[in-house]
Amino acid sequence: MGLDPVVLFFVFGLTAGLLKSELKLPPALYETLSIILLLAIGLHGGVELAEQASWQLLGQAGLVLGLGVALPLLAFAVLRGLRFDRVNAAAVAAHYGSVSAGTFAVVVAYMLAKGIEFESYMPLFVAILEIPAILVGILLAKGIARDTDWGELGREIFLGKSIMLLLGGLIIGAIAGKEGIKPLEPLYTSMFKPVLAFFLLEMGLIASGQLGALKQFGLRLLGFALLMPLLGALVGALLARMMGLSLGGTAMLATLAASASYIAVPAAMRLALPEANPSLSLTASLGITFPFNILIGIPLYLALAERLIAWGL
Amino acid sequence: MNAHTRTLLTVICEAALEKKLLADLETLGAPGWTLSDARGRGGRGVRSAGWEAEGNIRVEIICARDVAERIATHLQDRYYANFAMVCYLAQVEVLRAEKF
């Protein structure tokens, strides 16, 4: 199988951006596409969740929450090892502890194209993984400082756009059920890939803009942004095996652990840790890690999941 | 025409600050404001507004000189160090003094 066409759209956007083409999508379209994707992912998960809800799932959700705390700590340790200062290391670590819903959409499309089954409640894990890293990042930077406005920060985190859309979709899907959702089904069946393709075209353009800043930060950041997704994927995949997820589920949790946020966390960090350099985090997560995961990472994580299962883990 | 002199304070900054900034304006007694999206280039490079993390806003406030100075000082103390932000004052003439 050659490259998935949605990935080619990403490469197209990246190339057009690097060539400094005039091509630009209106910002409102990018927002619209990301809203549709998040809702579609949420709805799909909700429909299946209603049929599979169990106590076991609650335990798994707890473990995933733990993963969300462990990942930023791991990232922070690596960053400090690379001699980044404390505040910037904490801010970047928060990005890498959290997840990218865009990367998740691509891994969903990838699994569907390959015909690999996965646990349909995965979107719930996306929502869970968005939250803890932001808090851990702030604590790593400042400790429990008095001047943090936790109320405002809580609103920013829990009522943020992507969490709202994912949870809203999940709940609507769960209430509506399989029959009720039929008229909306194209959102996550026939419409999903076209929307994802346009979204990735725009992501390619945005990512190319971030790459320009890489010169400024050099090899240390590049090294981190390539090393961290591999470490994260390994941790995520091992946890998934412990939880007894399927092959598809293992590869997906590995992908989630490998991905870095570029929407929810930058917005929260800008307000909570204004002294951190935002372009450091965005260059790493959007300029390097996102393209790496889309182009190379996802097939790699699937191979990792296959290998772990073959070893009987 | 009966014109009155007031001060126009223009603030251009990161869109991330919008909520905080508007809350500050309210507390500091701004009588009203006009907000628009903006893009441009400055000390922190090109701010293209191509997507949400690069968004910028421009807030215009017409008010009495002392209110404008109070707001400007507050912004300088609070945000200048860590955020992309400029603000400037100008004298303008308005028709209805009681509005500002």
The chain B residue lying nearest A269, using CA atoms, is: B16
Residue type, A21: S
Q: Do the Cβ atoms of B38 and B49 come closer than 8 Å?
A: yes
- Region A255-273 average pLDDT: 88
In chain A, the percentage of residues whose pLDDT exceeds 90 is 55
**Residue B99 clears pLDDT 70, i.e. is over it:** yes
Tell me the pLDDT tens digit for each residue of A97-154: 999 989 999 999 999 999 999 998 898 899 899 889 989 998 999 876 666 677 877 8
**Residue A96 clears pLDDT 90, i.e. is over it:** yes
All residues of chain B having their beta carbon less than 8 Å from the beta carbon of residue A206 are 50-51
Tell me the pLDDT tens digit for each residue of A141-153: 987 666 667 787 7
The chain A residue lying nearest B47, using CA atoms, is: A209
Q: What pLDDT is attached to residue B34?
A: 97
| Residue with token string 């002199």 | B5
Mean per-residue pLDDT of chain A: 90
Q: Do the Cβ atoms of A207 and A291 come closer than 8 Å?
A: yes
Mean per-residue pLDDT of chain B: 90
Please report how many Cα atoms fall inside a 13 Å half-sphere around the Cα of residue B74, on the Cβ side. 19
All residues of chain A having their beta carbon less than 8 Å from the beta carbon of residue B55 are 27
**Residue A269 clears pLDDT 70, i.e. is over it:** yes
| Domains: count for chain B | 1
CA-closest candidate to residue B71, choices B7, B15, B19, B14: B7
**CATH number, domain with residue B87:** 3.30.70.120
All residues of chain B having their beta carbon less than 8 Å from the beta carbon of residue A271 are 16-17, 20
What is the band of A1 on the pLDDT scale with cuts at 50, 70, 90?
very low
Measured CA angle at B51 (ends A122, A96), to 5 deg: 45
Q: Which domain holds residue B72?
A: 4-99
SS3 at position A201: helix
Q: Do the Cβ atoms of B55 and B83 come closer than 8 Å?
A: no
Residue type, A73: L
> CA-CA distances (angstroms) from residue A140 to A79, A89, A93?
12, 9, 9
Q: What pLDDT is attached to residue B51?
A: 64
Under DSSP, the state recorded for A267 is H
For B78, the token pair is 């609070």
Tell me the pLDDT tens digit for each residue of B17-63: 998 999 999 999 999 999 999 988 877 766 665 666 678 999 999 99
Which domains occur in chain A, in start order? 30-205+217-310 (1.20.1530)
